Amino acid sequence: ELKKSKDRLFILYQISRSINSTLELDNILKVILDFSVKISGANRGSVLLLDEKKNVFFIKAAYNLSEKIIRKVTFAKDENTIGWVVKNKKPLYIKDLEKDKRFSKKEETDYKLKQLLMVPIIIEGEVKGVINLDNASFTTDIINLLESFSEQAAVAINNARLYQKIQDSYFEIVKALAQAIEAKDPYTHGHSVRVMEYAVLIAQKLGLPEEEIESLKYAAILHDIGKIGVRGIVLNNPNGLTDEEYDEIKKHPLIGEGIIQPIELLQPIRPLIRHHHEWYNGKGYPDGLSGE
């Protein structure tokens, strides 16, 4: 019994290291599902998360499920097996789905289910997610281990969501700053947001990593931040620029880089701010870079 407890603690320690190594929700859900399937021997599995506005659970991570099921299948918060788990806040193991009244025809899919285990992920006292495993014999030890693991999963998911909220709030502040700067130059009103939207679409088409796309978002929104250091009379000159005024305009990438230099989070985008007016033929500014 002591060895069993030690083994269980070691497993939980190992998974804790994995699950707390990232704040990306998709990565966390993948770790949760991989671990759950591995220790349970389930043929299929999924992690469901609650959409609190719709009161519906959606599949957010899946193992051995068709794309059709992942996209289309949802579970109402207060119905059938999900409803039981939400109400009772504890795991539900059904050994014979055909005979259990809690499993209605609504929950049937395009594959045959025999056994089902649902483990709640409880955040702030409410079921906000469910680990869903099927077609395996789940022992009491496995269920207890998954229940303990679900507590770690809940903390990791909550941390990821809080982190995302902070990121979203920070980005909204950055966007507001960019829009305030654009107010100084009415001709470019909305320009930074449009640049961001196009840049993100192109980056996604190119298959760039999410981390790079996130940096690109910030760079696009802030690329003209250096215009705050350019005189308004120059920015709004309707009669064309003198050579001296054009030289002043050309300083804004360097000014922009200088503004974000002290901000640790924005270090990856410094080259993008500095070089957003470089040309392929080397005739851009400030450094006259050329080629790729």
What lies within 8 Å, CB to CB, of 86 at 6+ separation is 77, 78, 120, 127
Domain at 252, CATH number: 1.10.3210.10
| Residue 151 shares a structural domain with residue 35 | yes
* pLDDT for 184: 73
| Residue 119 shares a structural domain with residue 264 | no
| Residue 219 shares a structural domain with residue 86 | no
pLDDT tens digits, 92-150:
999 887 777 766 555 555 556 778 999 999 999 999 999 999 977 899 989 999 999 99
Count: domains in the chain? 2
* pLDDT for 44: 92
| Residue 258 shares a structural domain with residue 156 | no
* pLDDT for 96: 80
* pLDDT for 108: 52
* pLDDT for 105: 53
What lies within 8 Å, CB to CB, of 45 at 6+ separation is 33, 36, 37, 62, 63, 64, 131, 132, 133, 134
* pLDDT for 272: 96
* pLDDT for 157: 96
Domain that holds residue 79: 2-161
| Residue 157 shares a structural domain with residue 215 | no
d(CA 253, CA 272): 9
Domain at 86, CATH number: 3.30.450.40
| Residue 98 shares a structural domain with residue 26 | yes
Tell whether 231 is covered by a domain: yes
d(CA 178, CA 200): 17
What lies within 8 Å, CB to CB, of 67 at 6+ separation is none
**C-beta atoms surrounding 118 within 10 Å:** 22
| Residue 82 shares a structural domain with residue 203 | no
* pLDDT for 87: 95
* pLDDT for 253: 95
Tell whether 282 is covered by a domain: no
* pLDDT for 5: 58
| Residue 135 shares a structural domain with residue 265 | no
| Residue 37 shares a structural domain with residue 135 | yes
Tell whether 175 is covered by a domain: no
* pLDDT for 135: 79
| Boundary residue ending a domain (126, 161, 196) | 161
**C-beta atoms surrounding 140 within 10 Å:** 8
* pLDDT for 95: 87
| Boundary residue ending a domain (129, 161, 193) | 161
**Exposed, middle or buried by CB within 10 Å (0-12, 13-18, 19+), for 174?**
buried
Tell whether 167 is covered by a domain: no
Query: Letter for the amino acid at 258?
Result: G
| Residue 29 shares a structural domain with residue 154 | yes
Identify which of 95, 89, 98 has the alpha carbon closest to the alpha carbon of residue 117.
95
- The answer to whether 111 and 44 have CB atoms below 8 angstroms apart is yes
| Boundary residue ending a domain (97, 131, 161) | 161
Report residues of the chain scoring pLDDT below 70. 1-9, 12-13, 102-112, 186
**C-beta atoms surrounding 52 within 10 Å:** 10
* pLDDT for 114: 76
Tell whether 174 is covered by a domain: no
Give the containing element (helix H, strand E) for 175.
Answer: helix 140-182
Tell whether 173 is covered by a domain: no
| Residue 130 shares a structural domain with residue 270 | no
Query: Letter for the amino acid at 30?
Result: K
* pLDDT for 136: 79
* pLDDT for 59: 96
| Residue 156 shares a structural domain with residue 187 | no
Tell whether 290 is covered by a domain: no
Tell whether 284 is covered by a domain: no
